[in-house]
Amino acid sequence: MRQPVLVRLRGNSSRDWPKKSWRVEFPDGVRFEGRQKVNLLSEWIDSSLMAEKLGYDLLAAMQVPAPRAKYVRLVINGVYQGVYLDLERVDKRFAAARPFPDTDPTIYRCGGKDCEMKTWRAPYQGAWQKKTNELEGNEDLEAFLHALNHTPEPSLEEALERQMELELYLRTMVMDALIANNVIEDSSSYLLHDRLMQRWLYVPWDLNNADARFFAKGGRVGDAPKVGHPLVGFSLIDPWVALKYHERLVQLPGRGWAPIFSNLNTRIVLHPRLRARLIALVERALDELYRPEVIGPRIDAMHALIAPHTVGDPHVVPERFAYGRVMIQEFVRQRADFVRAELERLRAPAPGLVLGAFDAAAGWVEVRNLGAAALSTQGLVLTTNLRSAMQTNVPSRLVQPGKAVRFNAAELGLTFPASGEVGLFDGRSETGMLDALYYGELSGGQRYIRSEAEPRQWEVR
């Protein structure tokens, strides 16, 4: 049977790969396996052909409603193109195939160099793309992002539980941690708004930047896997954010770059209860999914499934493909050990200088010492823009253990808006965050202050 279709290249940097990725569109009224549009990913950047598929399989195992991924063989004009990943499109059909009360949810896709979940957009970033219900406004997205960024810290967990599928988002963060997914700002992931339930779902996309891959550009047979990416990537505790920022300054100057990270990931890791929930989910995944006797056979089975069909693929180097299985197996083993060690560090943040109290209306902020020895504020930065943290402005003060010092906005050269963000940084790195607070406007006379019982927990008094 012959069927005319529209075919175009898909992807961004992948358009320059020798093995192209494709979007296939069937005419109106014609469906292939119930779909009008099909995404075929070449996976050329990963010589194992398995890292991205593994990420989506982990999401499925954790019951996260993410795109389904399956391997296919592609022939164009009688010429065999090799093994591809057929990745489900996130659209109305995606929603209809899942238990959403709203059969026509509003779907947004984050723009290029974004997915930061913030309320504004930098000049180098693309706008959110509305994929359904395009004639309606974007007020729902704006309200959600405002709540995500400016809900007072003591109410954050409850607000996120009410407005989004928080548990599923945390599980997505677990997947990111296990495969060391990075460059999320280029993923063009999705937000789905169920208007009947008034809840949001984050749907991840484009997992081919994970460190679990056997990198086609420069990777060599015999290389050791790279397993050292921090546990909570794409957040303000991820040093890779600063490294990528400096790389862009050199490679693409003049675009007004700033460090790119997720405000949501950062708020979760700063919040003691949410951080504890994330840790518990990572531990569960390590115990149930990432054990060698569970995930090892899964990887071997994936390799065995596609191996016969790599024969004749003009873009597969047999030695590299064979080593890809070894590489990803070793990655999983070493990554599990690394993640367990990272969990201990995340579970008990090192004591030191933190924000102790904050009153935007009165124009002051306190720095408290949670450590056992006196610490100096010399060289530190207090900022109201967490993406601009390298201008030293904190007067030098010695802060005794258990004590705090107060700084007025004027002596810091700052003004505190009614709602916003304030961060304390070491002044040595864009990700050298000692502490930060995303805050919302409070009633007259109220301020943010650390709990006496739990110094890492914020209260409003």
Last residue of one domain, picked from the residues 290, 319, 347: 347
Q: Tens digits of per-residue pLDDT, 421-445?
A: 999 999 999 999 999 999 999 998 9
Structural domain of residue 96, as residue ranges?
A: 92-347
247 pLDDT exceeds 80? Answer: yes
- Residue bearing tokens 């020798």: 18
Residues 75 and 158 in one domain: no
Q: What is the mean pLDDT of the chain?
A: 96
User: In which residue are the tokens 């906005």 written?
Assistant: 409
Short-list 245, 148, 143, 419, CA closest to 157: 148
**Sequence-ordered alpha helix ranges (H) in 62-187:** 92-96, 139-150, 156-163, 166-179
The letter for the amino acid at 214 is F
pLDDT reported for residue 100: 87
Q: Is residue 419 part of a domain?
A: yes
Question: Do 71 and 177 belong together in one domain?
Answer: no
Write the pLDDT tens digit of every residue in 296-331: 999 999 999 999 999 999 999 999 999 999 999 999
pLDDT (tens digit per residue) in 252-283:
999 999 999 999 999 999 999 999 999 999 99
> Residues with Cβ < 8 Å from 391, sequence gap 6 or more?
381, 383
Question: Are residue 98 and residue 46 in the same domain, yes or no?
Answer: no
- Give pLDDT, residue 159: 98
Distance CA 288, CA 298 (A): 13
Number of domains making up the chain:
3
Would you say 244 and 238 are in contact if contact means Cβ atoms under 8 Å apart? no
Alpha helices (runs of H) in 164-310, residue ranges in sequence order: 166-179, 239-251, 263-270, 272-288, 292-310
pLDDT of residue 49: 98
Average pLDDT over residues 211-223: 94
Residue environment code for 291-301, b if the CB has 16+ CB neighbours within 10 A, otherwise e = eeeebeebbee
**Residue among 349, 452, 361 at smallest CA distance from 404:** 452
Q: Are residues 189 and 299 in the same domain?
A: yes
User: 71 lies in a domain?
Assistant: yes
CB 172 within 8 A of CB 59: yes
Do 98 and 54 lie in a common domain?
Answer: no
* Residue 180 included in any domain: yes
pLDDT mean over 102-107: 94
- Please, which residues have CB within 8 angstroms of residue 243's CB and are 6 or more apart in sequence? none
pLDDT at 11: 79
In a domain, 1, yes or no: no
Has residue 410 been placed in a domain?
yes
Q: Give me the pLDDT at residue 175, please.
A: 98
**Same domain? 58 vs 111:** no
Positions of E strands within 278-419: 353-359, 364-369, 375-376, 381-383, 398-399, 404-408
Distance CA 219, CA 290 (A): 24
Structure token digits, residue 167 = 């548990």
Does residue 1 surpass a pLDDT of 80? no
If asked whether residues 332 and 203 sit together in one domain, one would say yes
Contact 56, 26 (CB under 8 A): no
Q: Which residues on neighbouring strands pair with residue 107, listed in sequence order?
A: 192
Residue with tokens 């009410």: 162
Query: pLDDT digits over 46-103, tens only?
Result: 999 999 999 999 999 999 999 999 999 999 889 999 999 999 999 999 998 898 899 8
User: Is residue 213 predicted with pLDDT exceeding 90?
Assistant: yes
Tokens of 323: 């080593």
Q: How many CB atoms lie within 10 A of CB 346?
A: 19
Secondary element (H or E) of residue 51: helix 51-61
Ramachandran sector of residue 367 (left: φ over 0; alpha: ψ -120 to 50; beta: rest): beta
Domain-terminating residue out of 87, 110, 128: 87
Q: What is the mean pLDDT of residues 129-145?
A: 97
Of the candidates 311, 310, 312, the one whose C-alpha atom is nearest the C-alpha of residue 79 is 312
Q: Mark whether 110 and 164 lie in a shared domain.
A: yes
Query: Do residues 153 and 272 both lie within one domain?
Result: yes
Instruction: Quickly tell me which residue has 């296990």 as its tokens.
Output: 178
Q: Are strands 364-369 and 353-359 parallel, antiparallel or unpaired?
A: antiparallel
Output the CA torsion sign for 378, 384, 388, 391. negative
Domain boundary pick from 87, 120, 147: 87
Q: Are residues 129 and 263 in the same domain?
A: yes
What percent of the chain has pLDDT above 90?
92
One domain, residues 368 and 453: yes
Token pair listed for 46: 């990963």
Give the model's pLDDT for residue 16: 85
Burial letters 116-128, b for 16+ CB under 10 A, else e: bbbbeeeeebeeb
Q: Kindly state the helix (H) or strand (E) to which residue 191 belongs, with its residue range.
A: strand 190-194
State residue 15's pLDDT score: 85
Judged on CB neighbours under 10 Å (0-12, 13-18, 19+), 28 is exposed
Digit-coded pLDDT (tens) for 148-202: 999 999 999 999 999 999 999 999 999 999 999 989 999 999 999 999 999 999 9
Residues pairing with 69 in the sheet:
87
Residue 445 lies in a domain: yes
Report CA 368 to chain centroid distance, whole Å: 30
Query: Rounded to a whole number, what is the largest CA-CA distance in the chain?
Result: 80
